[in-house]
Amino acid sequence: MAANINPTVRRRRLGAELRRLRQASGLKSTEVAERLMISQPKISHLENGNRAISPRDVRDLCALYGVSDDQVIDSLIQMAKESRQQGWWHAYGDIPQSVYIGLETDAVSLHAYEPLVIPGLLQTPAYAQSVIEETIPLVTAEQAATRLKVRLRRQHRIYALASPLRLWVVLDESALRRVVGSPDIMREQLDHLNALGTEPHITVQVLPYDVGAHPGLSGRFSILTFADSSDAGVVYLEGSTSDLYLEKQSDVQHYSVMYDHLQAQALSPDSTRDFITDATKAYIDAMRRP
């Protein structure tokens, strides 16, 4: 697969275009399903980018929607072919969050709020391994090793020389105080976090306890944006057994405003580095105590 082809993003773009064409034709998804003798959920999955679509299905849909421009049809068929290819993450088998990883791989910026742990893109190998082993019940050694490899592979996005991911992270103070693994692992993790925070494309802010109530109390969330103007932003809400992706403009705007408030209430990047340094000293003291 070519390096610039992301099947997850291709499916989203194709699905959005097929939805637009259907709506322009005046047809409801139930009517499309009835005429093509397929299920209505299949139409929804295709338009939401949740599953790949065959070139033949694209041609059938275009005929039903009255699309006669061969250039448009060929373009959609090409996207369908690309959407059926596999991203790098498929080499690791059936892994959780594969849809999110596809979006993250193609995103140009990511705003993340994390109340409990350091985000995966900023984790050290030892910290990541501890998080995986201690938070997933009944995980096998093989499954844990695979998840760790995938998590570290995802971090290539923030180290890419040509176009690194622009990353903003707001961390609740709990993420710094919660001992994951051991004090030594936490010391290494916080040193790593402070080092990454000096990179020009990475911004880290801490939200101290004394801020009190804030818009992030409902839980973690991430906002991904993309270079292509046809791609709306996506809000990602991670769950224990299933994830939620919000793409409506009103939803993205709502979470963007929430994030603006979190950034305004959090410490500045410089003050954050001082805060993390003080937290690191506490772990060093803990290591020295018998």
C-alpha–C-alpha distance, residues 83 and 48, integer Å: 13
Count of alpha carbons within 13 angstroms of residue 75, beta-carbon side: 11
Domains detected in the chain: 7-86 (1.10.260.40), 90-288 (3.30.870)
pTM: 0.81
Strand-strand pairing, 109-114 and 221-225? antiparallel
Residue 207 forms beta bridges with which residues? 172
Summarize pLDDT for 225-249 with one digit per residue, the tens.
988 766 668 999 998 778 888 888 8
C-alpha–C-alpha distance, residues 175 and 272, integer Å: 13
Cα-based angle 45, 239, 9 (whole degrees, multiple of 5): 40
Residue 99 forms beta bridges with which residues? none
Cα distances (Å, whole numbers) of residue 117 to 20, 132, 161, 168, 181: 39, 11, 27, 15, 12
Residues 6+ apart with CB under 8 A from 248: none
One digit per residue, pLDDT tens: the chain, 290 residues?
Answer: 344 456 677 787 788 888 889 999 999 989 988 988 888 888 888 888 777 788 888 999 999 999 988 888 888 888 888 777 777 887 888 788 888 898 898 899 999 999 999 999 999 999 999 999 999 888 999 999 999 999 999 999 998 888 899 999 999 999 999 999 999 999 999 999 999 999 999 999 999 999 999 999 999 999 999 887 666 689 999 987 788 888 888 999 999 999 999 999 999 999 999 999 999 999 998 888 87
